[in-house]
């Protein structure tokens, strides 16, 4: 590495260190009173830590004097009492200081940690859909980035207040005391520091690669375990127990090697450091003994200097840990604050509140590309008439769900305009717009919690009767009553069809003027589909409804049908007209009809 490269590296290091500090500052600032208190206690503690060495010095010197006097025991008793009293008082003071210092340090850590986590949650909730669709922001990754960031920052704050600061201020003051006693002694203690520093730095450097590897392996192992549990059905059905076990075993062996290596390196460096420390002690002893014999100081100085030197060297032996933690914080804080400060990802909305919405949508020349570069809609123009039911038809991947995403303003079109009641969607305030839209999706999300709470999500202030009524309309009520815990059953234990009914019940409870149904009956049985269709038919009255369905029965009676193919709008019209055109719609329709084996069915019904 050239000098220039080295400088550059150091430069970015200090830059990212500064950035870390700047980012962290607003989170620490609210606790500045507490921090000042902690710092004060730390300072007092550092002074108190020097009392013992000084006292030992005093004691030994006095005892030595006493030995030369005629009645040492009687005079010694008084000295003993005074010294014991001071030592005890100092210890009590120390306990108090340490308690306060640790308690406040922890408190700062806990509070900063919870502020960081909450800020991450609050920020994420303001971000737009495209942020979550980005590949490096997917659930697992985002979660890890946030958790790791918070963890490493908390650790940094904690160590700064609980370890680094007290140790270093104690060391500095001990050094000052040593210089004060004798310049050469001070210099001797000072000289050891760079050696120590160097060794600690080497240790941190050598361990860094392994530590990173180890962390990666731990993550992979956790992930592997979660994967196994999640996919146990597939694993068993393909009889892959052995393969999965072997995969884990290999990882385990890698980890084992790595851990042993890490331990070995640690021990080598720890021994080296304690050896250097010992050399330091020996040198200090030699120098002090020389000065004592020279008559420049009392014999007590030997012990005092050893004790002071330990105060000086203590933080330096922790240096590699501090290195590690600062490095961790630098690595993970970046990812964390990137997530936190992503102003571009914040969902923007207009000022117009959507009130008394009629529900007429105009889509004009809309193009849309997902963040991963997949072009999902090309030049789509269509109208969704208010109080009418519009069906969107197309093969899998045609762009049907995407269109709904755009109508809900989850994504912004690349270009083109979507208007609701003559006003651009962009100009609406997001919350008020979505309050007017009811959405039943292909994959209906069920939150962790009871069936009741999951339905209530549709209207948080709904009464008990309203919830039950919605559940009845969604043909869920009777099924829920059969469950062992009724409405208190954990909703994630329900069957796919039952979960879909929860989503529909939510819609009934919300009761919005605009309804988007993306395969609302996809996982329902025939009887339930028929029931739900009746309920939906009832709610359709006077509302703008868009329905996506692969099931013909729900399509044929729509007022207008739009057909999408590979992101293009290819046909529009009523069922009869589209059928006559003999194009894409007819192709899909005929295939669906054939798959139903209609001839056979009609025969059966006729008999
Ligand atoms: N979040 C996403 N990120 C990237 N590409 C996406 C995303 N969602 C959908 N796509 C892609 O956009 C295209 C249209 O998808 P869309 O979900 O709109 O299809 P669809 O018509 O609803 O199909 P299906 O009937 O299977 O639900 C597909 O090629 C799909 O792979
Ligand atoms: Mg879809």
What pLDDT score does 530 carry? Answer: 83
Q: Is 264 in the pocket of ligand 1 (CB under 6 A)?
A: no
CA of 422 to the centre of ligand 2 (A): 27
* CA-394 nearest atom, ligand 1: 21
Q: Is 233 in the pocket of ligand 1 (CB under 6 A)?
A: no
Judged against a pLDDT cut of 90, whether residue 105 lies above it is answered with no
Confidence tier at 1 by pLDDT (50, 70, 90): very low
Q: Which range, of 22-31, 97-106, 592-601, averages the lowest pLDDT?
A: 592-601
In this prediction, residues 25-44 reach a mean pLDDT of 91
Confidence tier at 462 by pLDDT (50, 70, 90): very high
Nearest CA to ligand 1 atom 27: 396
Nearest CA to ligand 1 atom 31: 397
Q: Is 392 in the pocket of ligand 1 (CB under 6 A)?
A: no
Q: Is 401 in the pocket of ligand 1 (CB under 6 A)?
A: yes
* CA-395 nearest atom, ligand 1: 25
- The pLDDT tens digits for 266-315 are 899 889 988 988 898 999 999 999 999 999 989 999 999 999 998 888 87
Q: Is 442 in the pocket of ligand 1 (CB under 6 A)?
A: yes
- Residues 254, 274: Cα–Cα separation, whole Å: 30
- The pLDDT tens digits for 558-575 are 999 999 999 999 999 999
What pLDDT score does 379 carry? Answer: 96
Ordered domains of the chain (ranges, CATH): 20-344 (1.20.1560.10), 354-436+515-607 (3.40.50.300), 440-511 (3.40.50.300)
Best probe residue, ligand 1, of 132, 369, 371, 376 (max atoms within 8 Å of C-beta): 376
* CA-374 nearest atom, ligand 1: 5
- Residue 216: what are its φ and ψ, rounded to 5°? -60, -45
CA of 589 to the centre of ligand 1 (A): 21
Mean pLDDT, the chain, integer: 87
Q: Is 186 in the pocket of ligand 1 (CB under 6 A)?
A: no
CA of 564 to the centre of ligand 1 (A): 12
Give DSSP secondary structure letters for 407-428.
HTTSS--SEEEEEETTEEGGGB
- Residues 591, 580: Cα–Cα separation, whole Å: 15
Nearest CA to ligand 1 atom 1: 133
Judged against a pLDDT cut of 80, whether residue 16 lies above it is answered with no
Nearest CA to ligand 1 atom 24: 396
Say if residues 97 and 48 touch (Cβ distance below 8 Å): yes
Judged against a pLDDT cut of 90, whether residue 495 lies above it is answered with no
Q: Is 398 in the pocket of ligand 1 (CB under 6 A)?
A: yes
* CA-133 nearest atom, ligand 1: 1
174 three-class SS: helix
- The number of the ligand nearest the C-alpha atom of 396 reads 1
Q: Which range, of 1-15, 442-456, 524-538, averages the lowest pLDDT?
A: 1-15
Closest CA to 122 of 414, 393, 406, 346: 346
Nearest CA to ligand 1 atom 18: 399
Taking the model in full, what pTM does it have? 0.78
Judged against a pLDDT cut of 80, whether residue 590 lies above it is answered with yes
Helix then strand then coil, % of the chain, to nearest 5 = 70, 10, 20
Q: Is 376 in the pocket of ligand 1 (CB under 6 A)?
A: yes
* ∠ CA 151-152-156, rounded to 5°: 120
Say if residues 336 and 146 touch (Cβ distance below 8 Å): yes
Q: Is 45 in the pocket of ligand 1 (CB under 6 A)?
A: no
Best probe residue, ligand 1, of 371, 397, 403 (max atoms within 8 Å of C-beta): 397
């Amino acid at each position: 590495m050239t000098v220039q490269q080295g400088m550059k590296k150091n430069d970015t290091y200090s830059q990212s260190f500064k950035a870390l500090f700047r980012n962290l500052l607003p989170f620490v600032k609210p606790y500045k009173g507490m921090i000042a208190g902690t710092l004060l206690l730390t300072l007092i503690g550092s002074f108190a830590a020097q009392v013992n060495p000084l006292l030992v010095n005093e004691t030994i010197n006095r005892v030595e004097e006493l030995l030369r006097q005629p009645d040492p025991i009687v005079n010694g008793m008084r000295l003993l009492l005074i010294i014991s009293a001071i030592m005890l008082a100092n210890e009590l003071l120390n306990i108090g200081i340490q308690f306060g210092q640790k308690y406040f340090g922890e408190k700062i850590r806990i509070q900063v940690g919870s502020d960081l986590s909450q800020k991450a949650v609050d920020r994420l909730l303001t971000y737009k859909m495209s942020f979550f669709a980005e590949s490096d922001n997917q659930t697992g990754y985002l979660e890890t980035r946030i958790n790791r960031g918070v963890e490493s920052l908390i650790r940094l704050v904690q160590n700064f207040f609980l370890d680094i600061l007290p140790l270093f201020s104690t060391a500095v003051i001990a050094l000052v005391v040593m210089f004060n006693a004798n310049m050469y002694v001070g210099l001797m203690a000072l000289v050891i520091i760079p050696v120590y520093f160097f060794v600690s730095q080497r240790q941190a450097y050598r361990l860094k690669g392994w530590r990173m590897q180890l962390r990666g392996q731990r993550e992979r192992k956790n992930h592997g375990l979660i994967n196994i549990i999640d996919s146990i059905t597939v694993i068993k059905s393909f009889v892959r127990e052995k393969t999965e076990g072997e995969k884990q075993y290999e990882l385990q062996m890698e980890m084992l090697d790595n851990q042993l290596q890490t331990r070995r390196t640690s021990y080598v460096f720890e021994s080296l450091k304690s050896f250097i420390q010992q050399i330091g002690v020996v040198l200090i002893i030699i120098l002090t003994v020389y000065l004592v014999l020279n008559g420049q100081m009392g014999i007590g100085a030997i012990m005092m200097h050893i004790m002071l030197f330990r105060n000086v060297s203590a933080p330096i032996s922790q240096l590699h840990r501090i290195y590690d933690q600062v490095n961790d914080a630098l690595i993970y804080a970046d990812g964390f604050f990137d997530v936190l400060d992503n102003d571009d990802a914040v969902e923007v909305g207009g000022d117009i509140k959507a009130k008394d919405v009629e529900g007429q949508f105009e889509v004009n020349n809309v193009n849309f590309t997902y963040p991963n570069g997949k072009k999902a809609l090309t030049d789509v123009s269509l109208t969704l008439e208010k109080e009418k039911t519009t069906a969107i038809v197309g093969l899998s991947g045609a762009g049907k769900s995407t269109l709904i995403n755009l109508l809900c303003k989850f994504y912004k079109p690349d270009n083109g305009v979507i208007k609701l009641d003559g006003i651009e969607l962009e100009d609406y305030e997001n919350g008020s717009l979505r309050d007017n839209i009811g959405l039943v999706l292909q994959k209906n999300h069920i939150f962790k919690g009871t069936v009741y709470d999951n339905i209530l999500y549709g209207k948080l202030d709904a009464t008990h009767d309203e919830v039950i009524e919605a559940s009845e309309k969604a043909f869920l009520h009777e099924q829920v009553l059969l469950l062992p815990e009724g409405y208190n059953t954990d909703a994630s234990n329900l069957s796919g069809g039952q979960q879909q009914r929860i989503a529909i019940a939510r819609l009934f409870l919300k009761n919005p003027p605009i309804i988007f149904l993306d395969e609302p009956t996809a996982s329902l049985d025939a009887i339930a589909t028929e029931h739900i269709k009746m309920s939906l038919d009832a709610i359709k009255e006077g509302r703008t409804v868009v329905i996506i369905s692969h099931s013909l029965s729900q399509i044929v009676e729509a007022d207008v049908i739009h057909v999408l193919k590979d992101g293009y709008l290819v046909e529009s019209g009523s069922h009869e007209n589209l059928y006559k055109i003999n194009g894409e719609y007819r192709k899909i329709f005929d295939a669906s009809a054939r798959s139903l084996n209609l001839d056979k069915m009609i025969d059966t019904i006729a008999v």
